[in-house]
Amino acid sequence: MVELTTLSKYPFLNASKKYVKDNNILIEEILEDPLYERARLIGVERLDNAFKKSEVGNRSFASETDHLMELLSYPIARMIAVCIDDNFFKRRYAHAESLHAHKHLINEKTPFLLNVSKEFKLNVKQSQDTNKLSIYFIDYLRNAPTRYKEWKMINREVNNGYINITPKDLARLIQEALRNRINNELDNKKCNKNVNKIFSNDIKRIYNTVIMHRKKTEAVPIGKLDTKKLPPCMKEILSSIQAGENVPHMGRFALVAFLNSLKLNSNEILKLFSRAPDFEEERTRYQIEHITGDISSTKYTPPGCEKMRTYGICPSEKIDDLCKKTRHPLSYYKVRWKQEKK
Ligand code: SF4
């Protein structure tokens, strides 16, 4: 049996659900019983912290009750997040929960990580001779943040379809798998009427904060860029980045080079990326400045449509009539400009 102290760190585990069930704690009680008021307060705190600090926050634990409240605050936060019903917020919350789990996971021993990876159906093997870990390449590609150099396949050792990883890597891959899982769950769950009623003030307050934040960032002028005129490929990459989805390196590269060709400088491009829930300023700035030539000897040019198709970043289901006559995303954008002037 997994200890309550562990479950409060990893409330998403099956063992956590089992604990709640075995102790006959009903959802109605969690939502309304004065006994669980602290869990409800922490649930709201998780969401506030997720939005303000991109982390659900740490609390101090003096007793078993503290751990129980922490554990129960997780399903509460998730139910409220569904009712807030804003994609940007949901992505941000999923990112914050996964980051919080990762902070604990990096301190865990390998057998624990292997057990957690099984829950996420990650095909991970441990060599009996060397104890080294490896993960099936499909699971690696699905979860690795390949936009970073050290995660690119080219920089990894591969044996018979398995990629060698360290326990630290496994913790990071679980983080990403958790983030994807929470994103899917939040997208597919409906707002519970009771939750909507009990937390109506917090739901309204957080929703309004999110809208204010969006207005503030959207009001920032970004060079001469008119996002409505962007070709479908660039719109798709930009919205995926801003939703915190795992965009492959080539997608990020194409977007930065494209925007730079439209005379947006590194700071202006950084502003667009800063709307992502998992924005890391230092790393993103480095990547952008490398492509724009600010810190490298080459100013890269954006790929044409044929290359975009080869890299799988031309969304064939979204191309329009103009795309059919265009050979380069830049030409698409320029034609849209000219069409408006006429
Ligand atoms: S056809 Fe070209 S411009 Fe249109 S979406 Fe594909 S890559 Fe972009």
- 126 and 247 part of one domain: no
What's the pLDDT band for 283 if we cut at 50, 70, 90? Answer: confident
Identify the H or E element spanning 136: strand 133-136
Q: How many structural domains is the chain composed of?
A: 3
- In this structure, how many other beta carbons lie within 10 angstroms of the beta carbon of residue 341? 5
Cα–Cα nearest to 101, from 65, 50, 151: 50
pLDDT digit string, tens, across residues 210-242: 988 877 665 545 556 788 889 999 998 988 887
Amino acid at 329: P
- 101 and 115 part of one domain: no
Q: Is residue 121 one of the residues assigned to a domain? A: yes
At 121 the pLDDT is 97
What's the pLDDT band for 198 if we cut at 50, 70, 90? Answer: very high
The answer to whether 79 touches 87, Cβ cutoff 8 Å, is: no
How many angstroms separate the alpha carbon of residue 328 from the centre of ligand 1? Answer: 7
Q: Is residue 291 one of the residues assigned to a domain? A: yes
The answer to whether 75 touches 30, Cβ cutoff 8 Å, is: yes
At 54 the pLDDT is 81
- 130 and 161 part of one domain: yes
Angle at 49 between CA 43 and CA 55, to 5 degrees: 105
- 209 and 229 part of one domain: no
- 248 and 305 part of one domain: yes
The lowest-confidence range among 19-33, 41-55, 289-303 is 289-303
Q: Under 8 Å CB-to-CB from 6, ≥6 apart: which residues?
A: none
pLDDT digit string, tens, across residues 81-111: 999 989 889 988 999 999 999 999 999 999 9
Work out the percent of the chain whose per-residue pLDDT is above 90: 69
- 60 and 203 part of one domain: yes
Separation between Cα atoms, residue 215 and residue 219, nearest integer Å: 6
Residue whose Cα lies nearest atom 1 of ligand 1: it is: 323
- 71 and 206 part of one domain: yes
How many angstroms separate the alpha carbon of residue 327 from the centre of ligand 1? Answer: 8
What's the pLDDT band for 182 if we cut at 50, 70, 90? Answer: very high
At 216 the pLDDT is 66
What is each CA distance from 141 to 17, 86, 113, 307, in whole angstroms?
29, 28, 19, 21
Mean pLDDT calculated for residue range 11-16:
96
Separation between Cα atoms, residue 233 and residue 251, nearest integer Å: 9
The answer to whether 304 touches 328, Cβ cutoff 8 Å, is: yes
- 143 and 42 part of one domain: no
Separation between Cα atoms, residue 46 and residue 54, nearest integer Å: 10
pLDDT digit string, tens, across residues 60-70: 999 999 999 99
Q: Under 8 Å CB-to-CB from 95, ≥6 apart: which residues?
A: 50, 54, 179, 244, 277, 278
Q: Is residue 195 one of the residues assigned to a domain? A: yes
Q: Which residues line ligand 1 (CB under 6 A)?
A: 231-233, 305, 308, 314, 319, 323, 326, 329, 332
Mean pLDDT calculated for residue range 272-300:
84
What's the pLDDT band for 247 if we cut at 50, 70, 90? Answer: confident
At 66 the pLDDT is 96
Cα–Cα nearest to 181, from 95, 61, 260: 95
- 90 and 18 part of one domain: yes
How many angstroms separate the alpha carbon of residue 334 from the centre of ligand 1? Answer: 13
- 193 and 260 part of one domain: no
Q: Is residue 183 one of the residues assigned to a domain? A: no
3-state SS of 79-115 is HHHHHHCCHHHHHHHHHHHHHHHHHHHCCCCHHHHHH
- 145 and 262 part of one domain: no
Backbone angles phi, psi at 164, to 5 degrees: -70, 135
- Which residues constitute the domain of residue 72? 4-105+189-213
Average pLDDT, the chain: 91
Separation between Cα atoms, residue 292 and residue 290, nearest integer Å: 6
Q: How many residues does the chain have?
A: 342
- 85 and 202 part of one domain: yes
At 218 the pLDDT is 58
Q: Is residue 184 one of the residues assigned to a domain? A: no
At 53 the pLDDT is 85
Residue whose Cα lies nearest atom 2 of ligand 1: it is: 305
pLDDT digit string, tens, across residues 118-137: 999 999 999 999 999 999 99
Q: Is residue 260 one of the residues assigned to a domain? A: yes
